[in-house]
Structure 1
Amino acid sequence: MNAKVGLLCVAALLVAGPWLLWRIGAVRAVAPLAVLQILGGVALGPSLFGRLAPETHAAVFTAPVLSALQGLAAVGVLLYVFVSGLHLDPARLKGEARGLKRITAGSFLLPFLLGLGVGAWIAASVPGAIGPRGDALTFTLAIGVCIAVTALPILAAILREAGWIGTRLGQTALALAAVNDAALWLVLAALLAIAAGAAEQIGTTLLFSLLWGAALLGGARLLRGQADGEGAETRMLVLGVAFCFVSAAAAEAIGLGYILGGFAAGVVMPPACRVALIARIEPLTATVLLPFFFVSTGLKATIDPGSAAFLSVLLLATVATFAGKVAGTALPARQAGETWSFALALGVLMQTKGLMEVVVLAALLEAGMIGPVVFSGLIAMAVVTTVVAAPLARLALGAGWAAAGSSDAPAEAPPRRTPV
């Protein structure tokens, strides 16, 4: 098959298939479009399409097609997290600073600790769990990180589909996910440096991260003056997207990951520039470009439900993720004065993994720190936790939030707390 024909056929299926399925009322009631896009990516990979029709799969996903998909995936997810950062208003969360710090710490540390326990058990009990260049300590730390992470891109997509991205729940979830992602990339960079025998690079990474942050703030100040005047919308589109790309390139070079770089560029963007950028970028990115990210990651996963080792990894990782994220988030949130409905909804949203975790797992697999069965088991865990996130959040919110969370009014009168 001609490479261009194959790519265009795959592109048409990716863009239209999940959307047409989502248009069915019964489907739309239980699954956001983003979840269907994730499942579509897995279905087109070796776990389903490659298993049912291996020759056709190989003919469709040739090397040129895969290369093009990777490029589109990188641009799609980068622009989407940039828009997610544009939606996050740091000033709105200042009143929540004290509670937010406790919630942030709990949402990462408790699942991380549970992940360490799961990692230690897997390392001792599952043959081939540790990769050829890993050891028990680095493997355990890697599993802890995978359990602790919240996937920012898919969380933003779920919030957008549910109509929560502009609510206090959505803003808080995005802020927590951003900090989780920052911690993830810092710890992952340290792990990969240790695996590569370059632990001395950790200090350099931290130094360059500070310089990158200062440069972002300086660039944002320069952009503030470009938001007015004739042709401001077009000018901001060009300069804003270029700013996103430069930030992502710098973050990738430092070792923090281009996704975090794109999100940070959106967060620091001046308020006057945001409306035009969101209006121009978000619709195309969410419906056309983001599915390429999901399929490119789904192509790396091989899910084998007949393997006892696979099922053990899947079960333990899912339980640790759910218990750690929900308890680690909801309990500090309740202590900070939130209602139980808000706290539990925030907790189940924070256990969203998405196929974003494949980026982390693929890096660990390539570095030789984890084996294939652990890679596949954690991929399946990421899909399960993502699919159940929105329904469980709706269940936690209950009838107290009008229009399924479109209002920030709590279902019950909360204890006294600092106003937003």
Structure 2
Amino acid sequence: MTPKTALLLVTLLLVVGPWLLWRVPAIRRVAPLAVVQIVAGLLLGPTLFGRLAPEASAAVFSPWVLSALNGLSGIGVALYVFCSGLHLDTAGLRDSARRLGPMAAGSMGLPLLLGLGAGFWIAAAWPEAMGARGDRVGFAISVAICVAVTALPVLAAILRELNMIQGRLGQTALALAALNDMALWLAIAALLALARGSAAHSLLVAALSLAWIAAMALVARPLLARLAARSVGPDTVLVAALGTAFASAALAEAIDLGLIIGAFGAGVAMPAAWRVALLARIEPLTAAVLLPFFFVSTGLRATIDPGSGAFLGMLALVTLATVLGKVAGTALPARAAGEPWPEALALGALMQTKGLMEVVVLAVLLDAGLIGAPVFSALVAMAVVCTLATAPLLRLALRPWRSLPHAGLVARGGSVYADGDGQAGTAGGERR
């Protein structure tokens, strides 16, 4: 088998296989497509394929194929986080920041504290989990960030599948996730700047990062806004947007800030008038074709070993910290702000969604040497477990309350949703 044939076969398997599995109703009810793709990537690595057929795995994933996968993985993840930036409604965040502030602080603060505790515990119990560059403090902060992540795009996909995205609960959850994402990228940027080199190097990276932020805010964004005001054609919009995304990603990578943060910043800088059209053109292809390369690259670095006491211990710690931190950290401030318990708990259940954003963050931290392979594998597994638990936890939170008219929600027969005008209905679209 030639390397090109192997690459094409891997591509075929990654693009078609997860989608066919996701079409099975039982799987589609509990897992968004991104989670099925993540699991497929894991199974192609040492977790299953490499363990059952090591010779075949080595033949398929030759050095040439691995190099191609890594290159395509970088493009795919850059476009994914660019789309995540497009999802971030900065105007809406400014309007709702005061109302959502306590809930956003709780949904980040408590998971960060529990994640720090879990990180220090793991560093003491399993020192091999720490990365080559990380000390205990840096390692614990890395674990804390991973525990505090909420995956905005995957959360949006889950809300769409439950027909809740236009209801008040869905919109509140999306706004909280957007605030979480913004804080997340700032924290990662600061951590990477401190971890990569001496104090002088960190100060240089910080200064260059501020210059990059100023360039995006004061140069790129106004220029793009002027271009958007001229009503240019869709091809010009696409080229201008992608050119900005890759230029920003390359610049951020060159200054040690990281291509992911650069691409995310480019998405945030896009004019509001372009966002819907860009998402319609870029996101489907990225999700269906390019992201699977990132998943398989991640899967080749993760070993899920259910028989390992260290793996199970780390998985239990980070999962408990995530679920408890996110649910309690969101629900308690929401209840204090006057939300009824079912909505408050449902918000907490939604905020512990992980999915792809967690895997992206993990790849950044692993490449930076802040975490090691053992905890990387445990955190990838935690991302899958928590994302799969989102819909069941949501239904559990709302089950005791059959109807919540003030929120436009219904919990009946395992389905919970609200339509665009706040009127609740059944899964078949029937009004109630």
TM range (shorter): 0.7 to 0.9
Gaps of at least 5 residues in structure 1 are: 412-420
Tell me, yes or no, if the aligned pair for 1:112 and 1:147 is still in contact at 8 Å: yes
Aligned to 2:349: 348
Aligned to 1:99: 99
391, 394, 405: which one aligns with 2:417: 405
The CA distance in 1 between the partners of 2:83 and 2:391, in whole Å, is 20
Cα distance change, pair 213–164 in 1 and its aligned pair in 2 (3 A): farther
TM-score by length of 2: 0.83
The amino acid of 1:283's aligned partner reads P
The amino acid of 2:419's aligned partner reads S
The CA distance in 2 between the partners of 1:254 and 1:163, in whole Å, is 42
The amino acid of 2:26's aligned partner reads A
Is the counterpart of residue 118 in structure 1 residue 118 in structure 2?
yes
State, as a whole percentage, how many aligned pairs show the same letter: 62
Cα distance change, pair 377–220 in 1 and its aligned pair in 2 (3 A): same
SS at match of 2:119: helix
TM alignment of 1:117-266, pairs within 5 A: 117-126=117-126, 128-131=128-131, 133-152=133-152, 154-159=154-159, 161-162=161-162, 169-217=169-217, 218-227=219-228, 232-266=233-267
Cα distance change, pair 369–94 in 1 and its aligned pair in 2 (3 A): closer
Aligned to 2:382: 381
Aligned to 1:308: 309
SS at match of 2:228: coil
Tell me, yes or no, if the aligned pair for 1:298 and 1:355 is still in contact at 8 Å: no
The CA distance in 2 between the partners of 1:166 and 1:200, in whole Å, is 48
Task: Give 1:110 deviation, angstroms.
Answer: 0.9
Matched length: 411
Aligned to 1:329: 330
The CA distance in 2 between the partners of 1:53 and 1:145, in whole Å, is 35
The amino acid of 1:251's aligned partner reads A
Task: Give 1:371 deviation, angstroms.
Answer: 4.0
User: Does 76-85 or 315-324 show the bigger shift?
Assistant: 76-85
The amino acid of 2:248's aligned partner reads S
Aligned to 1:418: none
The CA distance in 2 between the partners of 1:62 and 1:40, in whole Å, is 19
Cα distance change, pair 102–205 in 1 and its aligned pair in 2 (3 A): farther
Aligned to 1:270: 271
Cα distance change, pair 251–332 in 1 and its aligned pair in 2 (3 A): farther
Cα distance change, pair 375–52 in 1 and its aligned pair in 2 (3 A): same
Task: Give 1:246 deviation, angstroms.
Answer: 2.0
Cα RMSD (Å): 3.0
Tell me, yes or no, if the aligned pair for 1:18 and 1:40 is still in contact at 8 Å: yes
Cα distance change, pair 358–227 in 1 and its aligned pair in 2 (3 A): closer
The CA distance in 2 between the partners of 1:159 and 1:12, in whole Å, is 29
The amino acid of 1:346's aligned partner reads L
Post-superposition CA distance 1:99-148 (Å, at most 9, x none): 32222222222111111211222222235344455443333333222222
Tell me, yes or no, if the aligned pair for 1:15 and 1:287 is still in contact at 8 Å: yes
Aligned to 2:8: 8
TM alignment of 1:280-295, pairs within 5 A: 280-295=281-296
Aligned to 1:417: none
SS at match of 1:225: helix
SS at match of 1:200: helix
